[in-house]
Amino acid sequence: MGHSLGKEQQNFLRHLAQVRHMSPNTLRAYGTDLRAFLSWLPRGNGTPTRLQIRRYLVDLQDRGLKATTIQRKLAAIRSFFRFLREHRGLSEDPAKLVKGPKTPSRIPRFLTEDEIDQLLALEFDKDFFGSRDRAILEFLYSTGCRVSEAANLPLASLDLHEGTVRVLGKGRKERLAMLGSAARQAIEDHFSSRATLLSEQRRQDSGILFLNRRGGPLSSRWILEVVQRHAKRAEIPTRLTPHGLRHSFATHLLDRGADLRTVQELLGHERLVTTEIYTHVSMGRLRDVYDQAHPHGKYRRSRKKPN
């Protein structure tokens, strides 16, 4: 390798942006994590060793960083050295066998089907904002899309007749999502007020579905605000986010018999293991239903073994 690690870091980030099409937020996080690691290393020491990487992780733990944060930083380091090995002639990957701290399994927050019904049964104004907000909620729950995917959704990707939408997900990978009848109707109802707003604002149509009050694309932050405002109106006890609607979408599909591979495809997960967390959620729901419905359900689970 003919360049310093600092210069190779720039090559790596350029590769992530141009080849792997990572988002600006992910690129910033990778850049920050790698700069911190490279600054920690002794100067003029060449390629770091596996032991040095492990010591760095221990140092992060000693500073009180959470296991999830350390795992994120390790992921950046692993990706960097994998890039150097595959594209820049590094003979051995020092990060390949390094393991980070164990992270507690996190069960995603989701709404029950009754809570979803409660949210989507809200009354909305018939103006631009009311029809847009209703369309956003119906779209997120119907498709399971990420908030960034919804914020940048082109009108051209919608096929309301077929009830489908082409979604450009992480890594610019395209997938097909489904639009239920309620979501289709909500989007159709919104088109008229959307056109009126653009006319009043004298704005050329950007071709993006969800717009702000000035006729420009609606940001992810404002979609979050829309979801939280109406969740509060519906008296939902859980702090709801667009990702919470995505979790609800996946959990309810599995609860009603969808297979894991189908849910993986609809969510746009690259690896099945990412989708498998929802099986834990559904298993918990199954246990609750069993306890409530089976005459000896709770008794058998709590009964002490005989001496």
Active site residues: 146, 170, 243, 246, 269, 278
Question: In whole angstroms, how large is the CA radius of gyration of the chain?
Answer: 24
Q: Shortest CA distance to 149 belongs to which of 130, 132, 131, 165? A: 165
Cα separation of 138 and 132, whole Å? 10
Amino acid at 2: G
Residue 280 Cα distances to 66, 84, 108, 112, 250, angstroms = 23, 37, 10, 15, 12
Q: Shortest CA distance to 207 belongs to which of 199, 197, 216, 196? A: 216
Cα separation of 96 and 226, whole Å? 43
Bridge partners for 275 per DSSP: none
Cα separation of 243 and 144, whole Å? 8
What count of residues does the chain have? 307
What three-state secondary structure class fits 99?
A: coil
Q: Which two tokens stand for residue 198?
A: 């653009």
CB 197 within 8 A of CB 128: yes
Quickly count: other Cβ atoms within 10 Å of residue 152's Cβ: 17
Cα separation of 79 and 73, whole Å? 10
Q: Largest alpha-carbon pair distance within the chain?
A: 81
Q: In Å, how far from its chain's centre is CA 202?
A: 35
Cα separation of 272 and 75, whole Å? 19
